[in-house]
Every structure is written in structure tokens, then in C-alpha cells.
Chain A
């Protein structure tokens, strides 16, 4: 199987790359950070008997993505799986952020993800199943004040993935939306988890476990995966509790957490 991974040099992307490599899948890895891409490529090739191609790319730029896809054509690569991992968040209130940061969240999390999905779908291996994973978030299940743009962008991915999965079912395409709680990927993420105290730790998922179970579920044709019993319980609240009540509750929680962590 050839697996295409965006955001492959970050914590979750790397975990997915390692999981796919352990399963013997060949990889096409992209990220904006070329040094870290080379590092993960070296690590994978030294431990697993697979082929791994890396291509640094800013997937928010249409022409850059077109060049990347032309590169895959030169290698005669067709794909069986796409893992849309690349994403970004900038912590803090909407008005307190620069407008460029707000737009960048949408540009990467939504626009670039759609661009990659459309392009890689056109390069899928014919007559074989194709699998797509969208990395959404538990935050997609509610309106989240102080993470409003991020949560809304992940909500877009959740709804889009469910709709796309139904639309492309007849074409042998399986689509899964991964909705994790906190993931210990970057120092900022770890600080954010710590700032949330007990609930931060309780809703955090181990990257390697998430990667392994996500791949297993998308291969089985599952549509949504919410890691962790507590997170699944919280996701039910998203459907039962009125949105305005949820927004009020989450505002209180995030205000306390961000005050503690952003002031450090």
C-alpha cells in the first residue's frame, strides 16, 4: 500500500508514519519542515524495510501542491491511503489574535485539507479501495470559546468527512474522521494539557495508540473514531446539551486554563 501523509514531521504525523511503516506500507511524506522530514525518513528507513519519499511543501499554496503532485507522477506513484494530519491552532481569544493567524487556521485546516484530498484522490490507485483519514478533534463536537476558529475548522472536517464518505462509498472510498482530545505533540500542546489539570490529562490520548487504532478502524470502514472512553462520553454531551449552554461551560474552563498557561 502507498500511504500519503501530510504534516508528517509533527508528533501525530510521525506516529502515523511509524505505524504505517511497521505495517509494511510505503510512504509519501510531506510537511513544511524539510529538516524534520529528513529526520523521520532516516528513522523509518533504518528500522523498517519500506520505501519512504519525502517532499517539503506548503500545502496552503496551490502551485506548490501542483508541483508536488507532478513529482509523484514522475515517480509513477499511485496512492491507497491519505492521512490528512497537517493542521494548526493559535491559542487565545479571537480579537486578541492577528487576523492573519485566524485566516491561517482556516487556510491550513480547511482549504489545504480539501486541496490535498482532491489532488490525492485524483492520484489514487484504480480499482482498489482508497482510504482517507481527516484529523478533526473532540473540539469539533461543541462551540469552543477561545478556540472558536480552530473548533469550527475541525467541525467543518467532521461534517465534510461524513458527507464525503457517503458520497464516495460506491467508488470504494472509506473515510474516517479522527476526533481526539488532547495530543502530546508539541511543547505548546503539552503546556496546554498540563494547564487543564486533571481533565487535561484525563482527555489526552497517547499518539502511538491513536495512530494504530485509527489505521485499524479506517481499514474496517469505520466513519468516526473518538479515542478514550471519557472523550466518547463528552462527545455525547455535544449532542444533548444546548450549544449556548455548552459554550458558557467551555468558556469558563478554557478561560482558566489559558490564563494559567499563556501567562507562563
Chain B
């Protein structure tokens, strides 16, 4: 049974993806922040799909030591149950913020969770991915457009604008995917970014202020249910998408910002290695 890790899997897009994959016979390892929500999601999915193979792990992916701890638990699980082979890693966990907030490392939280957490998790899971199908998918956003990386202030410490920080983090998802494909495609690794479109999730309600909650409550009314973008992840996992595809929406290749360049991808990759203290792909 092919095993897939899905982060942010206790609600919204992550939970919908877990459902779709279980229905298709994948084994799902869900990751969530809160133990209670993880237990609820796990038992709901076991009830909906009797006999399905699903297991949840909880931890705060915003904190790098938690990413390491979770990775060790996930690798033990994969080594024990599927011969060390990971079919796919879906970096879906993400957040939005109304005010500047930092992680234990002092990093801006949207950058830390929406990009660095996925980067670090992919690093730790790389050996298992190389043995398996090697797919890495990230939940991106159309809001990555009309944005460039603030190289001189990537944490937005000067003149913090939460929406711009979010848009930058989504641009980083694409740059990371480009860098992964450049460096590891010969090892069988393929990275994609999924644009879910406007979706009815709770991202704008978690640890945000009144204005963001109000705006999100209005915007999400026109959003699709999470089951809609979940189909794109299943499409990427089931089929072999044509070479050269990077950004997908509604099971089709989609255009993306011209600022997604190899030069910026390399620059972000090196910076991310520095900020996480790892040499990507090298086990310590």
C-alpha cells in the first residue's frame, strides 16, 4: 500500500486530500498541530472508511525542533510499515496572520510555516521519498502573483504587511519546487505546486485579528469546498503528469508568475538551508 504524508490534515484542504487518498486506497499519515484535532480526524476517517490505513501525528510545524521530532516519528512508521518507501509528501500546512508574530527561532510565522516547514520536512523525508515514488506537492496560491521576494528583509521585519508576507510565502512554494526539480529529478523526485483556488477553509480564522476574520468570512463565501482542489492532488499522485509541469489547478497545468526563476529558486534554496541549519538531502 502506497504511503502519503499530508500536513495540515485535520481540516480544510488537508483533511479533504486525506479523504480522497484513503478512498483511492493509499495509506495516509496525517500531520496536525493539535492532538485533540488529530484524534478527531483520525477517528472520523476510520469511521468513514472502515479498514482504511490512516494514522495521525501531532506537532507544531512552525517550530523546527518539532519538524525534526515529527520527521523521526514518521520515518520510524514508514520504515516499519512500508519498507522505508514514501510515495508522496503533501506540504499543505499553512497559516495567515494579522500581526507580526515569531516562532521559537525568532522567524516570522507565515514564512516559517508556509515555506521553511515544508522545506525542512522534505529534507528529512528525502531518503524515504527517493526509495518511493518521490512526489512532493505543495499547496500554493494564486496570490503568489505580482509579488517578489524581499531578499533584504525576508521576514518583513520593517513595515510588516501580513498579506504581502503571505503572498511571498506562496511564491516561495513555487521557487522551492523549481529548486527541488533542478537538484533531485535524477533521483526520481518530482515537485509540484497546487493552486487550490478560493476555498472555504478556516485559514483566515486561526490566530488572526477581527479585520482579517471579517474579510475572510466575506471572501470564502464564493470559495469552493475543499473536496474540489483535493482532486488535483489525487490526479498528481495517480497519473504521471507530463514533464515540465510545475503548477496545477483543477487537474490541469496552469500559468504562474514570471518571477519564478531558476536564479531566485537557487537563492531561496541556499537561504533556506542556512535558516534551517541543514544541507538539503545530506543526513546528519
Contact = CB atoms under 8 A, between A and B. Distances in A.
A19 B273 CA distance: 23
Contacts of B207: 190
- The 8 A-B residue pairs with the shortest CB-CB distance, nearest first, are A43-B105, A39-B104, A43-B106, A18-B106, A36-B104, A39-B105, A46-B275, A14-B106
B257 to A, nearest CB: 27
Nearest to B69: A35
Interface string B40-69: 000000000000000000000001110000
A171 interface: no
A5 B107 CA distance: 19
Interface stretch (B95-103, B129-137, B169-177, B191-199): B95-103
B157 interface: yes
Contacts of B263: none
Interface in A24-72: 35-36, 38-40, 42-44, 46-47
A206 interface: yes
Contacts of B100: 206-208
A46 B277 contact: yes
B104 A43 contact: yes
A264 to B, nearest CB: 14
Contacts of B105: 39-40, 42-43, 46
29 contacts: A11-B102, A14-B104, A14-B106, A17-B106, A18-B106, A38-B65, A39-B103, A39-B104, A39-B105, A40-B105, A40-B106, A42-B64, A42-B277, A43-B103, A43-B105, A43-B107, A44-B106, A46-B275, A46-B277, A47-B106, A47-B275, A184-B99, A184-B101, A190-B207, A201-B209, A206-B99, A207-B100, A207-B102, A208-B157
Contacts of B101: 184
A39 B277 contact: no
Interface in A140-198: 184, 190
A139 interface: no
A191 B210 CA distance: 14
B158 to A, nearest CB: 10
A184 B64 CA distance: 21
Given A43-B107, A47-B275, A15 B63 contact: no
Interface residues of A, number: 22
Interface in B70-94: none
A40 B107 CA distance: 9
Nearest to A185: B101
Contacts of A42: 64, 105, 277
Nearest to A45: B277
A47 B154 CA distance: 11
A47 B207 CA distance: 26
A17 B105 CA distance: 11
A15 B104 CA distance: 10
A46 B106 CA distance: 11
A39 B275 contact: no
A14 B102 CA distance: 9
B274 interface: yes
A9 interface: yes
B66 to A, nearest CB: 10
B64 A39 contact: yes
A157 to B, nearest CB: 25
A255 to B, nearest CB: 23
B265 to A, nearest CB: 20
A39 B102 CA distance: 12
B65 A39 contact: yes
A9 B105 CA distance: 9
Contacts of A11: 102
Nearest to A43: B105
